[in-house]
Amino acid sequence: MKTIQVKTESARYAVVCERGALSRLGGIVEKVRGCGEVFLLSSPRVWKFWGRAAARALRLPRERVVLFDDHEIAKRVSTVEGVCRKLTRARADRSALLVAMGGGVVGDVAGFAAACYLRGVRIVHVPTTLVAQVDSAIGGKTGVDLPEGKNLVGAFHQPAIVVADLTTLHTLPARQFRSGLYEVIKYGVIGDAELFRFLEHEMEKLLRLDTRSLEWVIERCARQKARIVSQDERESGLRQILNFGHTIGHALEALTGYKRFLHGEAVGWGMLGATQIAVEMKRLSERDANRFSSLVARCGQLPALPRVSSRALVRAIAGDKKSRHGRVGWVLPRSIGAAEIGVNVPDRLVAKVWRELPARYARTEN
């Protein structure tokens, strides 16, 4: 069992990474439960594979299980309201402990519900997707989307513990797993050259869900996320580096109504765009940019970019939650394993790279 500690100003908790941890979930949760009742929040898709095992481990009656849609398009305030109403009808009080089991959408919705319900109840995250295990379940960010942009309504609410069972990844559709790999690559680019080299050598093993490779990668990413969050809980400085690829990525998701791309796929395109911007600004070598784009291509083909004008893209970026006075501080790579935050990128350069991006990536795939 690998246990990683997160120490923020508001909370301290462990991230447990272990195959088979789901079978021990009852004992793990009991240590942080306190005197309140436990409620399981998940989705029908996750419940189909893992829900009954989790409910048995937690010894939960069905009335303390709350299921909701975990598609990105359902990550809305109305879904949070529905969850809170179900908790009310199940008589969840301020001592309640919520257990959120699922991917990023489940974690975001359940986490935001936990932050709001009765002005805050505790939550345990049990991430079942790669992107959630290496990224979204750690750090206390919660939120839901608006038609105008991604994660525009949310709160910081740290969990009591995070329990990642690698076994759950075996029920992921291949596309969902690849979507998580783009976030794994992100960690290599922004702060871990050794991880990036490992991915270059072991990508095919990861795509086959090789146990040892997966364990090494997930622990490596989780430790980096824990270190960053521990230093900057509320994204006032260093934590912004985790937004590499998210500037274009969030704009893409909003512009396509959250229906075309999985989150990691949009981030994949966003990282490619940010990397090319860094090359154009003479902040990154062509050699490192080619290594990065080649590794992204080896994960599998990204969904095609939509026919969106550069003006629409720039406007969507300006409306992102990270913008200040209509401007975004970009995260750009300097080399494999190092990135810089708060870079001002002219709109005309964003537009140029956007127009050229499909052709550049197509050359990499070939």
Domain boundaries, the chain: 2-171, 174-365
H/E stretch holding 15 reads strand 12-17
Active-site residue 220, yes or no? no
Active-site residue 85, yes or no? no
Q: For domain 174-365, say whether CATH 1.20.1090.10 is its number.
A: yes
Rounded to the nearest integer, the mean pLDDT of the chain is 94
Residue 147 Cα to chain centre, angstroms: 19
CA distance 325 to 148: 16
Question: What was the pLDDT predicted at 324?
Answer: 66
Q: Is 282 helix (H, G, I), strand (E, B) or coil?
A: coil
Active-site residue 365, yes or no? no
Instruction: State how far the alpha carbon of 169 is from the alpha carbons of 95, 129, 166, 313, 363, in Å.
Output: 31, 6, 6, 33, 31
Instruction: Give the residue ranges of DSSP H helices in the chain.
Output: 25-33, 44-46, 52-58, 77-89, 104-116, 130-131, 174-191, 193-207, 211-231, 246-255, 263-280, 286-298, 310-318, 347-365
Q: Is 159 helix (H, G, I), strand (E, B) or coil?
A: coil
Active-site residue 239, yes or no? yes
CA distance 99 to 65: 10
Of these residues, 37, 202, 235, 280, which one is catalytic?
A: 235
- Residue 19: band (very low, low, confident or very high) from pLDDT cuts 50, 70, 90: very high
Helix and strand element counts for the chain (H, E): 14, 11
- Range name among 106-120, 318-332, 349-363 with the lowest pLDDT average: 318-332
Of these residues, 141, 157, 220, 223, which one is catalytic?
A: 141
Active-site residue 201, yes or no? no
Decide if pLDDT at 344 tops 90.
Answer: yes
Active-site residue 250, yes or no? yes
Active-site residue 71, yes or no? no
Instruction: Specify the pairing of strand 2-7 against strand 12-17.
Output: antiparallel
Of these residues, 186, 246, 253, 265, which one is catalytic?
A: 246
**Each residue's pLDDT tens digit, 283-321:** 999 999 999 999 999 998 999 999 999 999 999 998 776
Q: Which amino acid is at 343?
A: V
Of these residues, 76, 225, 233, 253, which one is catalytic?
A: 225
pTM of the model: 0.94
Active-site residue 263, yes or no? yes
Of these residues, 233, 263, 265, 322, which one is catalytic?
A: 263
3-state helix, strand, coil in the chain (%, to 5): 55, 15, 25
Q: For domain 2-171, say whether CATH 3.40.50.2300 is its number.
A: no
Cβ-contact 100, 286 below 8 angstroms: no
Segment 59-76 mean pLDDT = 96
Of these residues, 157, 239, 253, 322, which one is catalytic?
A: 239
Active-site residue 45, yes or no? no
Of these residues, 45, 125, 186, 250, which one is catalytic?
A: 250
